[in-house]
Amino acid sequence: MDTEESEALDAYSRIVTGVAARLLPSVAALSVRSPRGGGAGSAVTFTDDGFLLTNAHVVAGASGGSAAFADGIETPFDVVGADALSDLAVVRVHSPGAPAAPLGDADNLKIGQLVVAVGNPMGLAGSVTAGVVSGLGRSLPARDGRRLRIIDNVIQTDAALNPGNSGGALADSTGTVVGVNTAVAGYGLGLAVPINATTRSIIGELVATGRVRRAWLGVAGLPVPLPPALAARLGQKSGLRVVEVVPGSPAGTAGIYLGDILVTAGGRPVQSVQELQRLMLGPAIGVDLPITLLRRNALVDVVALPTELS
């Protein structure tokens, strides 16, 4: 190995070991108890008073368990709240003391960027793997009972993730947490729920109330291209064609019809189901939502009043 290769390898190693040193004290191995039996996963401390972030599927059906940290301390934890539709959950340990890991913004990630996964795969505590961001903007279906939602902007990485990694940290080269790893059976991919403005809002609701309130519009749609002249004028390539309107729903009451194309909602472009879903969080409940539609080649403005999804 020549000097240049050796120096490059040393630089890579320094980054990975630096991230590991920073995050390992913040990551816990979770042992979960529930009526369905025991389970295991990972969690990352994100506040100084003992709140940890993990996956909802790690703590599904559980009220608590125990958390073991790299320094050998083991402490009980309680489940504060879980949101299956984002696959995020917050737990709180009885004996805080682990340092809080900094949360970043996955919207700034680039394909090919170095990332480091820290967790407890297969019960092997304090495991570290490294790789790159393989893809961005992936979608992952999540189900809560009969409700199906798409977790959008999921991060794909080639850093090895295995059962037990779920709930652990995915960090950038500075040791800032940009995602929560999720090992989903049947996918065979390294995936992570991103830390961004949407998920920060979800995490905040889980800490404050233990649940996530969502708004309901009562409309389903599919992306379609906008007419070229309108697309050029708006600087927006596509909209969302309405394929279903629930009778008596906020969308129906507002005067949204089958075949309409949603162009904007709340002043923001609507080009995908995910963009509409991002607007349907707690703050949207009971607040007028102006919507611009394309109907028979004319733009039409309506106002909907989203209600709480039960």
Choosing from 87, 152, 172, 260, the catalytic residue is 87
Residue of 167, 153, 151, 159 whose CA lies nearest to 189 = 159
Q: Is 87 a catalytic residue?
A: yes
**Residue 276 · residue 221 · CB < 8 Å:** yes
Choosing from 31, 42, 57, 127, the catalytic residue is 57
Q: Is 94 a catalytic residue?
A: no
Residue 145, phi-psi category: left (phi > 0), alpha (psi -120 to 50), beta (remainder) = left
SS3 content of the chain, % helix, strand, coil (to 5): 20, 45, 35
Kindly list the distances between the CA atom of residue 43 and the CA atoms of 119, 211, 238, in Å, as whole numbers in the listed order: 8, 18, 38
Which pair of structure tokens corresponds to residue 133? 């961001």
User: What phi and psi, each to the nearest 5 degrees, are found at residue 7?
Assistant: -65, -40
Choosing from 31, 42, 166, 249, the catalytic residue is 166
At a CB cut-off of 8 Å and minimum separation 6, what does 41 contact?
Answer: 29, 30, 32, 54, 55, 58, 59, 120, 164, 165, 166, 167, 168
d(CA 22, CA 11): 17
Q: Please count the CA atoms within 13 angstroms of the CA of 4 that sit on its side-chain side.
A: 0
Residue of 186, 194, 95 whose CA lies nearest to 139 = 194
Catalytic residues: 57, 87, 166
